């Protein structure tokens, strides 16, 4: 009886001592804000990442320990600038809703520790290194506009390469769906090929999601502490519910629920 009581007391102690790892999300969910707000050391951000982004300014100027973000992406260069600050300051990143495009490419990957809430989508669909739309100036631009655009593109590509080198993540995560196509029931059901994605009817309407185990094993992503990720069909259906029928999410199959990376 005494031993049992001791065990129960010890368990209660340990349960009380366990930190609330999703606490910053709760802080942001209680706030009424338009795009960005700083609460103590928790920075809450939602919306597109724009040039001269307030996200970069606040990250640079304030003492921030946690970033809670809900963003479909935006401009690559300010996202890269934000990601480097996040990495240098050792800021934890929480996804609450979605983190796509430049948010997933840079900000999520740069976090010291990484978390996501249930039904949150983290997705990739290319980068300035691989996306043909980003590498082709619009018709009708002047020679000076083309030169300025090309210089900016070279700068962004160099920043991307440097960030990925520093954090140890493979650029293939950003630029290729890779084996997301293999043994994927949605791909087999639709009869899609890689050519459909790269040059065919689905070009620009496709993104891929990757679960925590493969992010670590295949791409070198470190620090994933708590990440919700479901099977291929559930992720596909979730994408349709968020984006409609015009944008498709393809994913690796991994077990349902909140997943930790394999040891």
CA distance 40 to 66: 10
Structural tokens at position 110: 């740069």
pTM of the model: 0.84
Query: What pLDDT, on the 0 to 100 scale, is given for residue 15?
Result: 31
Token pair 């990757």 is found at: 210
Alpha helices for 90-230 (secondary structure H): 102, 109-110, 132-135, 143-167, 172-175, 185-190, 194-198, 212-219
Query: What pLDDT, on the 0 to 100 scale, is given for residue 101?
Result: 92
CA distance 156 to 18: 41
Reference 120, options 140, 93, 141; nearest CA is 93
CA distance 189 to 204: 20
The helix (H) or strand (E) run that includes residue 208 is strand 206-209
At the top level of CATH, the class of 20-254 is alpha beta
For each successive 10 residues of the chain (263 residues), what is the average pLDDT? Answer: 35 37 93 95 97 94 98 95 98 97 97 95 83 62 75 90 96 77 74 70 76 89 92 86 82 60 41
Long-range contacts of 23-32 (CB under 8 A, 24+ apart): 24/66, 24/68, 24/92, 24/94, 25/68, 25/94, 25/96, 25/115, 25/117, 27/68, 28/68, 28/96, 29/96
Q: Which residues pair with 207 in a beta bridge?
A: 249
Measured in whole angstroms, the distance separating CA 197 from the mean position of its chain's CA atoms is 21
Alpha helices for 95-142 (secondary structure H): 102, 109-110, 132-135
Q: What CA–CA distances, in Å, run from 88 to 83, 91, 101? A: 9, 8, 21
Q: Taking every pair of C-alpha atoms in the chain, what is the biggest distance, in angstroms?
A: 85
């Amino acid at each position: 009886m005494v031993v049992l009581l001791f065990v129960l007391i010890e368990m209660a102690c340990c349960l009380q001592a366990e930190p609330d790892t999703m606490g910053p999300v709760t802080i942001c969910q209680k706030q009424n804000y338009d795009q960005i707000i700083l609460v103590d050391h928790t920075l809450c951000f939602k919306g597109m990442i724009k040039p001269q982004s307030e996200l970069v300014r606040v990250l640079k100027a304030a003492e921030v320990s946690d970033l809670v973000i809900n963003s479909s992406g935006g401009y690559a260069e300010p996202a890269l600038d934000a990601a480097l600050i996040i990495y240098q300051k050792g800021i934890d990143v929480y996804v609450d809703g979605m983190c796509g495009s430049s948010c997933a490419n840079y900000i999520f990957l740069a976090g010291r520790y990484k978390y996501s809430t249930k039904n949150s989508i983290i997705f990739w669909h290319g980068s300035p290194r691989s996306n043909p739309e980003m590498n082709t100036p619009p018709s009708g631009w002047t020679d000076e506009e083309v030169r300025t655009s090309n210089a900016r593109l070279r700068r962004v590509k160099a920043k991307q390469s440097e960030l990925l080198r520093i954090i140890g993540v493979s650029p293939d995560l950003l630029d290729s769906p890779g084996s997301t196509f293999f043994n994927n029931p949605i791909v087999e059901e639709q009869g899609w090929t890689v050519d459909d994605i790269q040059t065919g009817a689905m070009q620009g309407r496709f993104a891929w999601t990757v679960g925590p185990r493969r992010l670590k094993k295949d791409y070198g992503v470190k620090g994933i502490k708590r990440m919700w990720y479901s099977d291929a069909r559930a992720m596909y259906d979730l994408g349709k519910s968020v984006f409609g029928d015009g944008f498709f999410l393809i994913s690796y199959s991994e077990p349902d629920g909140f997943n930790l990376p394999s040891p």
